[in-house]
Amino acid sequence: MVETTISVIKADIGSLAGHVVVPDFLFELARKELKAGVENKIINDFYVTNAGDDLELIMTHNKGENNEEVHRLAFETFLKGTELAREKKIYAAGQDILSDTFSGNVKGMGPGSAEMTIEERKSEPFAILMADKTEPGAFNLPLFKIFADPFNTAGLVIDPNLHDGFRFVIQDIMKDVPCFVEMKCPEEMYDVLALLGSTGRFTIKKVYRADGMVCASVSTDKLHAVAGKYVGKDDPVAIIRAHSGLPAMGEILEAFTLPHLVSGWMRGSHTGPLIPVGLKDSRCTRFDGPPRVIGLGFQVSNGMLVGPVDLFDDVAFDITRQRAMEVSDYLRRHGPFQPHRLSDDQMEYTTLPKVLSACANRFVEEEIVPKGTVKDTSDSAE
């Protein structure tokens, strides 16, 4: 049986009019580079798109995960794009490129990647979900709902192939060295939720069906952790297989109807709802957001991509979008106050600590009585 690897490698290498949208010339460059990758037999097929200011390279090949040639192709595409973006003075050109010396794969170099190696079934539908202005933990809630919540996924109850549940590989992304734990649902559901609720720390890396079949893969690259300082949110991508003994495409998409609150938005420092949008709305505007997710549906056929279908471009999500806009409006009224603004520790890589440390030496241990106030007794000797 031939194995096909789906690799989604993405980076923000510059965007138009601020952190809004990938400019057309970067799409053109990426398509040209990946076409050469097909001609040179590095990849089988590709599709280029964007989630807001992130350039997304969707590729299929037979070389397995973390493959040097495939990662090099993506990385060099980002480097060439960065050069062009700098030439045209596009905003934040090369934002996610932390080093221009390639060392085997893109991990730790700035770009994010989600990969999955599959034995193609008789028919192989899957979704690629790509988010902007948020972090990998944004996928914790929907992935839990898809693979473990029977109120979301009817198949968990109705379909005997889903009945044995799913195994979650969860990563502690705050550790310097990658650190993972495997947990099974429904048996360990409360422990799974205890971890996944901490979205800034624990993220789902992969999901497998009870019998070992791989079903989902998420990028868990944490830009601020690899850069040692804040350099932008690590906008995540997820690959999710659908149907024939796995959650249906509609059960995958149902998980995005909440719209749940995620961290990110303006300056990577605010809480906001994750809005599912069609490609035409894949650009972050109001207060650099609100955070949004696009979904493309494909099938893989003998290693080639068939599709895509723009999954959230449907009136069925209008009610979700309306709710998200109302939530956004409500949250924005809080301005710089928590919980709209994230807590200090979630912003430790932003510039806020600099502002706070400038105030630090003005603090004294006794309550201050301002000069000239009624309680001020400094001139009472007369």
Catalytically active residues are 12, 230, 233
52 binds ligand F6R (CB under 6 A): no
Q: What are the C-alpha distances in Å from 210 to residues 163, 187, 190, 207, 305?
A: 9, 11, 18, 9, 27
For the bound state, the minimum distance from the C-beta of residue 257 to Mg ion, rounded and expressed in Å, comes to 23
Residue 27 CA to residue 51 CA, distance in Å, equals 12
Q: Which one among 4, 13, 33, 53 touches Mg ion, defined by CB under 5 A?
A: 53
Alpha-carbon gap, residue 34 to 46, rounded angstroms: 7
Residue selected from 61, 224, 233, 321 as contacting ligand F6R according to rule CB under 6 A: 233
**Are 46 and 3 spatial neighbours (Cβ–Cβ below 8 Å)?**
no
Is the CB of residue 223 less than 8 Å from the CB of residue 233? yes
Query: Cβ-count burial of 178 within 10 angstroms (0-12 exposed, 13-18 middle, 19+ buried)?
Result: exposed
12: contact with Mg ion by CB under 5 A = yes
Name which of ligand F6R, Mg ion, none residue 224 binds, using a CB cut-off of 5 to 8 Å depending on partner kind.
none
> How many whole angstroms separate alpha carbon 313 and alpha carbon 320?
12
Closer residue to ligand F6R (CB): 63 or 133: 133
- Selected from 45, 54, 115, 135, the binder of Mg ion by CB under 5 A is 54
Choose the binding region for ligand F6R from 59-67, 121-129, 262-270, 316-324 (rule: CB under 6 A).
Answer: 262-270
Q: Specify the stretch interacting with Mg ion by CB under 5 A; choose among 40-48, 87-95, 322-330, 351-359.
A: 87-95
Q: What is the 3-state secondary structure (H, E, C) of 267-321?
A: HHCEEEECEECCHHHCCCCECCECCEEEEEEEEEECCEEEEEEECCCCHHHHHHH
**Which range binds ligand F6R by CB under 6 A, 30-38, 137-145, 219-227, 264-272?**
264-272
Within positions 122 to 151, which residues make up the interface with Mg ion, using CB under 5 A?
Answer: 132
Residues that bind Mg ion (CB under 5 A): 12, 19, 53-54, 92, 95, 132, 235
Residues that bind ligand F6R (CB under 6 A): 18-19, 92, 133, 232-233, 266-268, 288
